[in-house]
Amino acid sequence: MTLLPSSPTPRKLGLVIDLDVCVGCHACVISCKEWNTGGYGAALSDQDPYGADVSGTFLNRIHTFEVLPEGGQVIGEAGEARIVHFPKSCLHCEDAPCVTVCPTGASYKRAEDGIVLVDESKCIGCGLCAWSCAYGAREMDLAAGVMKKCTLCVDRVYNETLKEVDRIPSCVRTCPANARHYGDLGDPGSDVSRMVAERGGYDLMPEQGTRPTNKYLPPRARKPLAASAGSAVLAENTDGAKGFFAWLDGMLDRI
């Protein structure tokens, strides 16, 4: 199973993440944990949960970056520093090194839809797949000794016990800002593909040669407020209160 399926897979299921609206609320992080800790495979354990070195297995995490434009100033409108919240889970790469490095065949990419999964009953917990993933999308569960990763909620998206609308990943369903979108990126007509085309969706670290399925939508271009300062809108002008009240009287006549 460690060989990759012939590429491209008939369907390329994945996520599109909109960095223009992600507010960094971590809802998707916790919802993912909650869904998966009782779902696919072993529970997502937490070590030292109420102590000093608390840490746990998460399949999705939000990083926060500060982006500093060249010569940016701290306050004001032009060129100021920005905060970008950055969600990250498995990108379900087409050339997934995490699959080919796996010695046991536990790590595999589904031929049908491209979802990259770990068959925990085979996983020896060698950790090599996590090393091979440039994105940090795999985390070893310390209690179970097996590798965990985003399953693209495979046990939701095909789950016939769920209503049709709910057959989407837990993180997508919960995201309050609607920054996460799920769909078939192999179908150019799908909503997600169109979104990617329209908004210039891109790959993370293309230089790693992994050809991720998941795409990121960049923050939209911003128009500074100061650019409106000279607009005609404020041109009509009042010379002192007198002129203003004269205008007011005129306005009242029109009512």
Partner 1 sequence: MHPAPSIILFTTLSGLGYGLAAVLGLGLLDASTLSVKIAHLAAPVMIAGGLLSSTLHLGNPQRAWRALSQWRSSWLSREGVMAILTFVPLMISAWFSVIEGRYLPAAGLIGTAMCGITVFCTAMIYASLRSLQAWNTGFTPLCYLLFAAAGGFLLAAVAGYSSGTGGTVCAAIAALFVVAAWIAKHQWWTRLRTLVPLSTPESATGLGNIGHVRLFERPHINDNYLTREMGFKVARKHALKLSKIAVIAGGAVPVLLLVVAMLSGVGAVTIVASVLAVGFYALGLVVERWLFFAEARHAVMNYYGG
Partner 2 sequence: MKSEPHVALSEPVSDEVRKTTCYMCACRCGIDVHLKDGKVRYIEGNRDHPVNRGVLCAKGSAGIMQHYAPARLRAPLLRTGPRGSGQFKEISWDEALALATDWLDGVRQDDPKKLAFFTGRDQSQSLTGFWAQQFGTPNYAAHGGFCSVNMAAAGIMTIGGAFWEFGAPDWDRTKLFVMFGVAEDHDSNPIKIGISKLKKRGARFVSVNPVRTGYSAVADNWIGIRPGTDGLLILAVVHELLKARKIDVDYIVRYSNATWLVLDAPGTAEHGLFVRDDNGKPQVFETVTEHVVPLGTRGARAALSGRVELPDGRFAVPSFQLLAEKYLDPQYAPEAVAKETGIAADVIRGLAAEIARVAFDEAISIDQPWTDMNDERHEAFVGRPVSFHAMRGLSAHSNGFQTARALHMLQVLIGAVDCPGAFRFEPPYPKPIEAHPTPHGKAEHFGSNKPLSGPHLGFPRGPEDLLLDAEGKPMRIDKAFSWDAPISAHGLMHMVIANAHAGDPYPIDLMFLYMANMAWNSSMNTAGVIKMLEDKDPDTGEYRIPKIIYSDAYSSEMVAYADLVLPDTTYLERHDCISLLDRPISEPDAVQDAIRWPVVEPDRDVRGFQSVLIDLGARLRLPGFVDSRGKALYKDYADYIVRHERRPGIGPLAGFRGSNGDRTGRGAINPEQLNRYIENGSFFSVHIPLEAQFFKHANKAYQDFAVRMGFFDEPKPVTFQLYQETLQKFRLSAECLREPVAPETHRERILATFDPLPVWYRPFEEAAVSREEYPYHAITQRPAAMYHSWGSMNAWLRQIHTKNPLYVPGSICDEIGLVDGDWVWVISHHGRIKVEIARMEAVNSSTIWTWNAIGKREGAWALDKDAPEAKKGFLMNHLIHELLPPKGDGMRWSNSDPITGQAAWYDLRVRIEKAERAEVSEPHFGAVAPERAQAEELRYGQEWAK
Q: Which does residue 173 touch among partner 2, partner 1, ligand SF4, none (CB within 5 to 8 A, set by kind)?
A: partner 2
- Cα angle value 89/93/95 (rounded, 5°): 150
Q: Which does residue 145 touch among partner 2, ligand SF4, partner 1, none (CB within 5 to 8 A, set by kind)?
A: partner 1
Cβ atoms of 95 and 4 within 8 Å: the answer is yes
The two tokens of residue 91 are: 């990108």
DSSP-derived letter for residue 220 is P
Q: Which does residue 70 touch among partner 2, ligand SF4, partner 1, none (CB within 5 to 8 A, set by kind)?
A: partner 1
Beta-bridge partner residues of 15: 182
Range in contact with partner 2 (rule: CB under 8 A) among 128-136, 182-190, 204-212, 239-247: 239-247
Cβ atoms of 103 and 16 within 8 Å: the answer is no
Q: Which C-beta is closer to ligand SF4: that of 47 or that of 159?
A: 159
Near partner 1 by CB under 8 A: residue from 145, 176, 188, 243: 145
Range in contact with partner 2 (rule: CB under 8 A) among 90-98, 124-132, 163-171, 197-205: 163-171
Per CB under 8 A, 197 contacts partner 1:
no
Provide the pairing of β-strand 46-47 with 55-56.
Answer: antiparallel
Per CB under 8 A, 172 contacts partner 1:
no
Least gap, CB of 183 to partner 2 (angstroms): 17
Residue 69's Cβ-count burial label (10 Å; 0-12, 13-18, 19+) is exposed
Range in contact with partner 2 (rule: CB under 8 A) among 92-100, 131-139, 203-211, 235-243: 235-243
Q: Which C-beta is closer to ligand SF4: that of 55 or that of 238?
A: 55
Mapped onto helix, strand or coil, the DSSP state of residue 38 is: coil
Least gap, CB of 172 to partner 2 (angstroms): 10
Positive or negative torsion for Cα 71, 72, 77, 83: positive
Cβ atoms of 58 and 45 within 8 Å: the answer is no
Least gap, CB of 214 to ligand SF4 (angstroms): 8
